[in-house]
Structure 1
Amino acid sequence: MTTIPAPAERYAHLIAKVQTYDYHYYVLDNPLVPDADYDALVRDIRALEAEHPELIAPDSPSQRVGGGLLAHFESVAHAIPMLSLDNVFSEAELGEFNQRIIERLGLPAEANITYV
């Protein structure tokens, strides 16, 4: 029979996993998992934190943005701002992203944008 780990144990396990993935992604430039898998882990952490706010740890991915930068990367100024899809997981969220782009560009609401 499989036992379900207590929330605190699961939370600590998820954070350790994400920290390992962060190190490989940000420091070694060698991702271990696809972005969707990583994002699912972070969503699980946030869900646990919402249910058990007493668990929130300072080293939780929800308490910081990004990771350390690799030293050999140079800063690049983009002529056009680079915009992120964030964590878009449905057509509805994609539509909301498209609407934000249209508004930010000052285009009419019915504008049709081609993305590459």
Structure 2
Amino acid sequence: MTKTIRTNPLFELYIENNILVINNGEDLKNNGHIKTADIESIEFIRELNFWNKILEVTFGLIVSVKSEYVRIRFKDGFKDLLVTNCDRKKVEYLVYDVNLLILKTQNHHY
């Protein structure tokens, strides 16, 4: 299932045949295909300034962020994809779906 997380410029992340496909019209160097078997985990990271962190932790408010990115962890490092100005809910669902697929793949190996 294709997740269009931003329309202008286009940014798509999706899983096809156990491969994570990255199609980012704004940042072409990040485009590519990654086998889900090579991914240890994936996470959504919101980078806040100091005062925004206090507001979010203290009052549970969702505040504007300096940047948001998806970190894809491998055995030998990681890759960050900047996803600021993207649909946050779609990014969160994608992260969940990829991690679920990774767990299913790992469980088949044991």
Give the TM-score normalised by structure 2: 0.27
Give the TM-score normalised by structure 1: 0.26
Greater helix fraction, Structure 1 or Structure 2? 1
Greater strand fraction, Structure 1 or Structure 2? 2
